[in-house]
Amino acid sequence: MQFGKHYDRDGAANVLQGLISCRIEEQKHAPGQDVQYFGNINLDNTVIHEGARQNGGRRIWKLAAIPANGVIEHEMTFRVHGVLSKINLVPGEISQASALTQRVEIVGIGAAAFDDMILNTKLVTDSFRRFLGPQHSPEWNIGEGYGDIRLNCSNLYLTRAHGRDYEEIPFGPGVDPFGKFAKYKAQGYVHTAANVVRYFRRGVGQDKDVLYDCFPANFRAGDIVEVQGNIIAFTTKDNAIKIVFQMNALTLEDGTFSRAAEQARAREHVAPPAHIELKRKNWYEEEDEDMDVGRTRRKFKDLRLVDGPSRGVDKQ
């Protein structure tokens, strides 16, 4: 069972269902052009824009909104909610910098609103197919695990400059806690604005929600989160075209279910203190090897009274 037997799947699914429904209603009443909720996307006023080639010259296409003035300036950002099922946010030892990826996977654990929301990936895929033409067949692989539809969201930590003058952006707090990326700077890799992923946790202020910065290491499998990002298509090494959700922000919405499961697991695996039965120790049951019992008995046998007659006995 995913997340373990202590995880309240039904409770988390109900919270996720309500959260997605609430965000969809917000989108209906305040529709945005540059930022859209994935459960209620509208691609009518969008265009696919080809960006600068990156990492070995691969071609990249991005969805962008067409503003009222007709001048395209921003990528379209999408918001999606789910439950974290896989997390890869703290860099490990990898030989190639191009393989260093910050990645999460989210699932719906039975929330119907999540499954309906993920169906909108077909709308995006069809949009890319129309733009790229019949000779290309871009794929967006939406997998399944433990009976749940899952969505992968990722972003590279680094971009190879290839002689381009990229502005280098400092890493956010907790992104590179062990300084593993320093050695890649000499190899021509930089951390650009496109590689930035910000990490937040949502709190409640006096009259509105508040976002607080947090570390990537604060996230756990089973957390309910919001992922923000862009949808891009790019050419692979074998000239295929792949569509991915490029993550640029991850927000912790609710960590109570993962925390409760973790505490229950800890209680289960911590052994109760052992009861110690004290043993009685009698000194007279032990035999002292240095004691000469026979000698002591002889002393009592040879004992003589030298202070006069015994009491109660007449002397004759």
For residue 312, pLDDT over 60 is answered with: no
Range of the domain at 100: 9-269
44 falls within a domain: yes
Q: Is residue 210 part of a domain?
A: yes
pLDDT digits (tens, 9 = 90+) for 158-174: 888 877 788 889 988 88
User: Is residue 278 domain-resident?
Assistant: no
Q: How many structural domains does the chain have?
A: 1
Lookup result for tokens 């009685």:
280
Question: What confidence tens digit (pLDDT) does each residue in 253-276 have?
Answer: 999 999 999 999 888 877 666 667
Residue 277 domain-assigned (yes or no): no
Tell me the mean pLDDT in the region 90-116. 82
In the chain, what is the straight-line distance between the N-terminal and C-terminal CA atoms, in Å? 104
Q: Distances from the Cα of 201 to the Cαs of 205, 211, 227, 228, in angstroms? A: 13, 6, 12, 13
Closest CA to 89 of 175, 211, 202: 175
- 275 SS3 class: coil
pLDDT at 39: 82
| Residue 114 included in any domain | yes
Residue 145 confidence (pLDDT): 58
| Those residues with Cβ within 8 angstroms of residue 71's Cβ, 6 or more apart along the chain or in another chain | none
Half-sphere exposure in the Cβ direction for 203 (13 Å, CA): 8
In a domain, 110, yes or no: yes
* pLDDT higher at 133 or 8: 8
The model carries a pTM of 0.79
| 314 part of a folded domain | no
In a domain, 37, yes or no: yes
pLDDT value of residue 316: 46
